[in-house]
Amino acid sequence: MSQCKYTAIGGQALIEGILMRSPEKTALAVRTPDKSIDITYMDVKSLRDKYKILRLPIIRGVISFAESMIQGYKAMMLSAEKSGFTDVEEEEAAEKTEEEKTKSKEKFDKIINAVMVFGTVLGVVLAVVLFMYIPRLAVKGLESLSGAEFSKIARSSIEQLIKLVVLIAYMYGVSLMPDIKRVFMYHGAEHKTIFCYEKGLPLTVENVRKQRRFHPRCGTSFLILMILVSIIVSTAVQLIFPGVYSVVWLWVVAKILMVPVICGLGFELLRFCGRYDNLFTKIVSAPGLWLQRITTKEPADEMIEIAIASLRAVEPSVPDVDRSVDKEDTADGE
């Protein structure tokens, strides 16, 4: 297998579409109801460009994660709209005046925003309970049952193992939903297209289809890396502040405060694994690549077309790899 060259281009699977980002541009390609491909460029201004201090290691990871979440939400809503996912019945729409349509859309947007806010709050609460409170109680229960006090490393490892089991169960459960499965298929198309680009191959459906769908810089790998980094950070906190672990609610608060640090360290580790291919990076990337067997699916050709369109839309003025092959394809009528 030929060696891939690192590229700064990354993406996100959407509803019937893909968002791609490069250092210069951000765009999403969406399959519209008439089967054409709609390309929309997003005006993205990062705080890291405005404040140099936010470009420092660790800090840049926290900022990047927050901005990606916000941008991803906007892109997901836009793709839902452009793909027709949020459209009302055509017959009903035809009977309404333009004013009624506008009011209906405004009402729908308000409902969606309210649902998203409620869902976000509920998600945060569930995340705290499932990934912080329950694992701590579980470890405390195991200590009571065994009559022994676990070491600090054992405590952190058991907590993270419980989190990992919950995460995998959740990912597998949602992957069974038809709409989510399609998103995961677009996720696979995104990875395959980036691999094709990194190898310097012509961006054709045939070439993309041959690529792997498991990529070391994927956000799924980031989740696993955060769990691994959390073991180290949690153990360090217990060593520095021995009494904090004995109080359940205090430990949960401490874990929440650790999140930015864990997020920043995980981001740096993910960047490192994406840049280098050696024994260490392969070992670190292995759990995340395994989990991608759930979060990525083999895409259909029309999904690969979307991925190619979105990548070409954001390609930097000075490409990461030699793209003269694409010019040859164009000349041949591809």
pLDDT in tens, 128-183: 666 667 787 788 888 888 888 788 788 878 887 887 888 788 888 888 888 889 99
The token pair that represents 232 in the structure block: 């180290």
Please check whether residue 49 lies inside any domain of the structure. yes
CA dist 216 to 44, 208, 225, 262, 273, Å?
Answer: 25, 17, 11, 18, 7
User: What is the end-to-end Cα distance of the chain in Å, rounded?
Assistant: 25
226 with 259: CB under 8 angstroms?
A: no
Please check whether residue 279 lies inside any domain of the structure. yes
Task: Kindly provide the b/e burial profile for residues 228-263, where b requires at least 16 CB atoms within 10 angstroms of the residue's own CB.
Answer: bbbbebbbebbeeeeeebeeeeebbebbeebbbbbb
d(CA 133, CA 220): 23
Please check whether residue 270 lies inside any domain of the structure. yes
- Quick one: pLDDT at residue 91? 43
Please check whether residue 1 lies inside any domain of the structure. no
244 with 238: CB under 8 angstroms?
A: yes
- Quick one: pLDDT at residue 280? 83
The token pair that represents 330 in the structure block: 């164009």
Per-residue pLDDT of the chain (334 residues; tens, 9 = 90+): 445 666 778 889 998 999 999 888 899 999 999 999 999 998 877 788 788 888 888 888 888 878 888 888 888 888 888 887 755 444 444 555 566 556 655 655 565 555 555 555 555 556 666 666 778 778 888 888 888 878 878 887 888 788 788 878 888 888 888 888 999 999 999 999 999 998 889 999 999 999 999 887 787 777 777 878 888 888 888 888 888 877 878 887 888 888 888 888 888 887 787 777 788 888 887 888 888 999 999 999 999 999 999 999 998 877 777 666 665 554 444 4
Distance of CA 156 to the CA centre of its chain: 25
CB within 8 Å of 3: residues ≥ 6 apart: 277
In this structure, the strands spanning 17-21 and 37-41 are unpaired
- Quick one: pLDDT at residue 181? 92
For the chain, the domain total comes to 1
CA dist 230 to 139, 256, 323, 332, 334, Å?
Answer: 16, 11, 40, 51, 47
Consecutive H or E run containing 313: helix 301-314
Please check whether residue 331 lies inside any domain of the structure. no
Q: Pick from 309, 334, 300: which is nearest to 39 by CA? A: 309
CA dist 274 to 20, 184, 218, Å?
Answer: 17, 21, 9
191 with 209: CB under 8 angstroms?
A: no
pTM (two decimals): 0.75
Q: Pick from 326, 317, 73: which is nearest to 203 by CA? A: 326
Structural domain of 171:
10-323
Please check whether residue 298 lies inside any domain of the structure. yes
d(CA 144, CA 133): 17
- Quick one: pLDDT at residue 333? 44
